Structure 1
Amino acid sequence: MTTVAAVDCGTNTIKLLIGDLPDVAVREMRMVRLGEGVDRTGRLGDEALARAFAAIDEYAALIAEHDVSRLRFCATSATRDSANAQDFSDGVLARLGVRPEVLSGDEEAALAFAGAVRNLATRPPAPVLVVDIGGGSTELILGDTEPTAAESMDIGSVRLHERHLHSDPPTAAEVAACVADIDAALDACAVSPGDAAAVVGIAGTVTTVAAGVLGLPAYAREAIDQQVLDVEAVHATVERLVTMPVSERLALPFMHPGRADVIDAGALILSRVLRRTSVPTLLVSESDILDGIAWSVA
């Protein structure tokens, strides 16, 4: 028995998986908004670091309870972009005994693809486009059993919300500016969504939009995983979320309170990617980069 632990620390969330794969004993998520303000200041804020370290302290206790033999801690967009990433790295080392690996965009994309496709009960037609929308970056990964092309773009739900969507709800001009930013990134991206025969969406923005399309009475991982959604229904749900004030988003039974304010920008990214494809459906996977990290050390 080899029990592994994987930690995925992104711009908005920090996630933990513990298990003897494929069996998972623990799957946890905390909204810490580590990347708050990084797009503007270039630094991890003191309050954001405190939130992250509090979550990591909780994870350290869980890891200690499960006799973990291998641990991999990966950090993504926020720490790639921050001038004081060493402060974060030192704090993780003190709490878990390992330093976080700050993934390159290519590494992040490969792990996300591996986590997404391994979970699928039915393999979609190739080439498959995996869309991973995070808080600070978005990865587009095209491939079959392995990635053949991948790119990480500096557009994410937290980054673009902070940059453009200042009103509640956003004004038409703010939405237009956000969409222009997304489209510029997609224009420059080496991975063309139009090449995809199927699209698999992963991570919290996509799964939350999926919960909205499905009209779930509460967020339920098992009800969302591997659902096939009509793309036009996805666009309609995105438009509805973007035009809602935060108070109405918070009232949605499936909405995590830590995602309600930034779901507008993330949902717009999803919609703009899908507009460039010819596929009629979106396949949603609840397995993502966290699962890819865990399998990499299993």
Structure 2
Amino acid sequence: MLCGCIDIGTNTTRVLVADAREGRLTEVLQRRAFTRLGRGLTPGGAIPAARIAENAGVVAEQVALAEQAGAQSIRTVATACIRVAANREEFCRAMLEHGGVQVSVLDGEEEARLAFLGATKTLEQPLAGRVAVVDVGGGSTEIAIGTVDGGVEWWRSLAFGSGFLADAYLGDDPPSRDQLDEVRFHASQMLADIDPPPVDVAVAVGGSAASLRRLVGDVLGHESLERALRELTTGPAVDVAARFALDPQRVRLMPAGLLALEATGQLLGQPLHIARGGLREGVLLDLAGM
């Protein structure tokens, strides 16, 4: 069964089409557009009409791509940016009228559950014990803890992500040490009152984590994160992007995402292993009843 997921996030809108068979997903198509819907948006603020129209066009293109790839069922989800927008109903109406899709706006709990499902069910080797899945998105960070067989037992959704932190603090290119310290402090303060249960292993999902794999490999510990931060801040984003074959817009966000991942890893007391799947894969697995 070919299933499609369109994920409308704070920084990007992505389409993923995969073949779901025998408990496995085989990717057929994936495309991404940087839309930065959440740029400058505060909780309760309204997404500008021009950005809504632009995103509706992106969604319409991605729906067409998914249908051309043979997707028999397509689910469209939206996360933090749309969740907190004053005009979320207007946004969803525009996606239906001009993008051709009904949008499901995920609450924090459902976003955490689907990210956990996508991360833990697409592993090459099953993980034993209690697993933490950290999903640093553009506008929020979800932490979900549970077991591969039993699912989520504990979760939190926190109102900070790479887009929010970069917009709030990282005004220079490359960012200064003081700006990076402000991001680090903000992330640690947001997590100060969180008391998660102990875990045996932690995995990271989301755009920042996936991009960091190109810089330092599959494990984000203290040394690898410090090395990645040095690489990301040694020159302008366009130069770093060319060196590592990344999008310059992603590079501008990555130091903030990295510091959010660093803070959550310290909270959990574990290095973060970068997962192969996340929210979109979770949506497809859920859609296929797997």
Q: 1:232 to 1:277 in 2, by over 3 A?
A: farther
- Aligned counterpart, 1:218: none
1:182 pairs, out of 187, 193, 200, with 187
The answer to whether residue 254 in structure 2 is matched with residue 263 in structure 1 is yes
Structure 2 unaligned segments of length 5 or more: list them.
none
- Aligned counterpart, 1:8: 7
| Contact 1:5–1:16 under 8 Å retained in 2 | yes
The answer to whether residue 238 in structure 2 is matched with residue 284 in structure 1 is no
Deviations 1:240-268 (A, max 9, x none): 42454324323332322221211111111
**Aligned partners of 2:133 and 2:44: how far apart in 1?**
30
Q: How does 1:12-91 map to 2 (within 5 A)?
A: 12-21=11-20, 22-39=25-42, 42-91=45-94
- Aligned counterpart, 1:224: none
Let me know the Cα RMSD of the aligned residues.
2.1
CA deviation after TM superposition for structure 1 residue 132, in Å: 0.7
Deviations 1:40-94 (A, max 9, x none): 8812123322331221121121233245432211100110111111222112112
Q: 1:10 to 1:190 in 2, by over 3 A?
A: farther
The answer to whether residue 227 in structure 2 is matched with residue 254 in structure 1 is no
**Aligned partners of 1:203 and 1:142: how far apart in 2?**
16
**Aligned partners of 1:56 and 1:234: how far apart in 2?**
34
Question: Could you say what secondary structure the match of 2:18 adopts?
Answer: strand
Q: Please, which moves more after superposition, 128-137 or 94-103?
A: 94-103
- Aligned counterpart, 2:124: 121
TM-score (norm 2): 0.89
Question: Could you say what secondary structure the match of 1:187 adopts?
Answer: coil
Identity among equivalent pairs (%): 27
1:134 pairs, out of 137, 141, 144, with 137
| Contact 1:199–1:282 under 8 Å retained in 2 | yes
| Contact 2:133–2:202 under 8 Å retained in 1 | yes
- Aligned counterpart, 2:236: 245
**Aligned partners of 2:243 and 2:46: how far apart in 1?**
33
1:295 pairs, out of 281, 285, 288, with 285
**Aligned partners of 2:230 and 2:260: how far apart in 1?**
12
2:158 pairs, out of 153, 157, 172, with 153
Q: 1:233 to 1:68 in 2, by over 3 A?
A: closer
- Aligned counterpart, 1:212: 215
CA deviation after TM superposition for structure 1 residue 297, in Å: 1.1
Letter matched to residue 147 of structure 1: V
Structure 1 unaligned segments of length 5 or more: list them.
215-226
Question: Could you say what secondary structure the match of 2:256 adopts?
Answer: helix
Q: 1:229 to 1:175 in 2, by over 3 A?
A: closer
Report how many aligned residue pairs link the two structures. Answer: 282
Q: 1:206 to 1:288 in 2, by over 3 A?
A: same
| Contact 2:57–2:99 under 8 Å retained in 1 | no
CA deviation after TM superposition for structure 1 residue 107, in Å: 0.3
1:233 pairs, out of 220, 224, 228, with 224
Q: 1:47 to 1:201 in 2, by over 3 A?
A: same
CA deviation after TM superposition for structure 1 residue 113, in Å: 0.3
| Contact 2:191–2:267 under 8 Å retained in 1 | no
**Aligned partners of 1:206 and 1:144: how far apart in 2?**
21
